[in-house]
Structure 1
Amino acid sequence: MESQIIRPGHLTAHQTAHILGITLGGVRALVHRGELSRSGGSPRQPWYKIEDVSALDANRRNGKAA
């Protein structure tokens, strides 16, 4: 597996899943439903903006999202 250097201000799918308390499949489902957008990386190793993940986490904790 080729390692990529992630851009500042971004998270890997694994980091995103950990922060949100979901599985990688859950992260893929959020992307599929349009609740989270990829912001870089590759199709197999996507990155997500920290701001987007933080906002989604806050909304989920406040009961505003699934």
Structure 2
Amino acid sequence: MRYESIPPGYLTTELAAQAAGVKPDTIRDWKRRGILKRSAGSPRYPLYTVDAVIAAKAAPKPNSARARRAEVNTA
């Protein structure tokens, strides 16, 4: 289900990436890692709030593969 119009205050993956200054794959990665949560939409076509995208961009993230593996092993 693609959106003909997006409700005010919500962003698609592509729009969230533009707002955060990252690639859409980064938004999907944040979602997978639990940094960004879907606020509406479907699992295939998620929508995110502007506030959630801003918070995810500011959230601390491991910057190395070793740190990411440690993050997964402790969860």
TM-score, scaled relative to structure 1: 0.73
- Residues 12 and 2 of structure 1: is their aligned pair in 2 closer, same or farther, counting only changes over 3 Å? closer
- Segments of 4+ moved more than 6 angstroms: none
**Larger relative contact order (C-alpha < 8 A, sep ≥ 6)?**
1
Give, in angstroms, the shift of residue 29 of structure 1: 0.7
Q: Flag the structure with larger Rg.
A: 2
Deviation by residue 1:21-63 (Cα, 9 ceiling, x = unmatched): 2222111110011100001112222100111112223x2xxxx
SS at match of 2:56: helix
Q: CA RMSD in A?
A: 1.9
Q: Distance in 2 between matches of 1:27 and 1:2?
A: 18
TM-score, scaled relative to structure 2: 0.66
The runs of 5 or more residues in structure 1 that have no matched partner are: none
- Paired residues in the alignment total 61
